[in-house]
Amino acid sequence: MSVLEAMRAIIVDDEKLARQYLRELLRKHPQIEVLAECKNGFEAVKAVADTQPDLLFLDIQMPKLNGFEVLELLEHPVAVVFVTAYDEYAVKAFDAHAVDYLLKPFSKERLAQAIEKVQRSRQSPQHAGPELKEAARSADDYQKRIVVKDGTSVVIIRDDDIDYIQAEDDYISIHNKEKSWLKHQTLSSLESALDPERFVRIHRSVMVNVERIARIEPYTKDRHLAILKDNTRLPISRSGHQKIKALLS
């Protein structure tokens, strides 16, 4: 593979000067065509869907959607290089799922190293997603919202607004009293990301917001039902019943 293989890239950063600095350095790499610059996560999701780039230079701390949430919404596999001013995010997460990360301020030499890594990795591109966000989360930093695509729109669902979440094949269905949304994610990955004092997996396919439970009723000898305040009835497994009892006792 040629080290000068052409790549189409998008720059995502909420700081205009940071975008300009990176674009200027990229002029030294004619094999990289910058398709777009995005100043927030919403623009990034749309730009990736519209242009299907090979490479994403992605900031982490941004308004509206952060870099990890952007990755959760991408449907097009793309190589990711994080560009961030913060080093507290777990390096192991970047190593496992992103090609590289650049810590601001970075040099032209460091950028060149990242581009070389990207080109070497193109034979086996990875689609970074929810597991990356989970790996970078500290032990007590539970996520407070879930982002999903609803048609061409991006919806931000606060954890307070969730009634329950149900596994549906390779997707999860997020429910509240007004609507439900589908997202391509495993229930296990979301379970470990949400606060276990508030969200409990009561069945292999169901996780519930404990604040929505009105009562627990027996169903069979070894099974129970969670009756929510809106009268939704959810199955509780034997192990799920033990979790609920421990949490509510």
- Most confident range, picked from 60-69, 84-93, 94-103: 60-69
What domains sit in the chain, N to C, each tagged with a CATH number? 7-135 (3.40.50.2300), 145-248 (2.40.50.1020)
Q: Mark residue 31 as left, alpha or beta (left: phi above 0; alpha: psi -120 to 50; beta: remaining).
A: alpha
Tell me how far apart the alpha carbons of residues 15 and 246 are, in angstroms, rounded to a whole number. Answer: 47
Tell me how far apart the alpha carbons of residues 76 and 79 are, in angstroms, rounded to a whole number. Answer: 10
pLDDT in tens, 34-85: 999 999 999 999 999 999 999 999 998 898 898 888 888 888 888 999 998 8
Q: How confident is the model at residue 20 (pLDDT cuts 50, 70, 90)?
A: very high
- Most confident range, picked from 54-63, 93-102, 136-145, 202-211: 202-211
DSSP secondary structure string for all residues of 202-221: EETTEEEEGGGEEEEEE-SS
Interior CA angle at 58 toward 52 and 64, to 5°?
95
Helix (H) or strand (E) holding 10: strand 7-12
* Average pLDDT value for residue range 135-141: 57
How many residues in total does the chain contain?
Answer: 249
The three-state secondary structure class of 242 is helix
pLDDT higher than 80, residue 196: yes
| Nearest alpha carbon to residue 7 among 68, 67, 78, 71 | 78
pLDDT in tens, 162-191: 999 999 988 999 999 889 999 988 999 899
* Average pLDDT value for residue range 16-44: 96
Across the chain, mean pLDDT equals 86
**Reading across the β-sheet that carries 171-175, which strands appear in turn?**
180-183, 171-175, 164-168, 206-209, 199-203
What is the reported pLDDT for 219?
Answer: 87
Whether the Cβ atoms of residue 41 and residue 13 lie closer than 8 Å to each other: no
Greatest distance between any 2 Cα atoms in the chain: 70
Tell me how far apart the alpha carbons of residues 211 and 53 are, in angstroms, rounded to a whole number. Answer: 42
* Average pLDDT value for residue range 237-247: 89
The three-state secondary structure class of 118 is helix
What are the tokens at 7? 């790549």
- Most confident range, picked from 15-19, 79-83, 136-140: 15-19
Q: How confident is the model at residue 134 (pLDDT cuts 50, 70, 90)?
A: low
- Most confident range, picked from 23-32, 123-132, 139-148: 23-32
